[in-house]
Amino acid sequence: MSDARRRPSFRQADLARALRAAASAGHHVVRSEIDAEGKITLFYGRADSGQPVVDELEEWRRRNAGAA
């Protein structure tokens, strides 16, 4: 199947479902990303500050980016 006729790997309903699930779990989503394969990544933060919460793995990756 050509790329033009390929079934999309992401649908708007998928993102809406993920956002509803995050909200029902008490998370405040500050950003979302969808990659070419359709993987949805949600970034959480505090509703009052607007600043994303940086998890420990991402912080470690930033500190050690030049070590590789």
Per-residue model confidence (pLDDT) at position 9: 82
Is the pLDDT confidence value at 55 over 60?
Answer: yes
Residue bearing the bigger pLDDT, 4 or 64 = 64
Q: Tokens 């990659």, residue?
A: 35
pLDDT digits (tens, 9 = 90+) for 5-47: 677 788 899 999 999 999 999 888 888 999 888 899 999 887 6
Confidence of residue 3 (pLDDT cuts 50, 70, 90): low
Q: How far apart are CA 42 and CA 29, in angstroms?
A: 6
**pTM of the full predicted structure?**
0.58
Cα–Cα dist 50/19, whole Å: 17
- The whole-number pLDDT of residue 49 equals 58
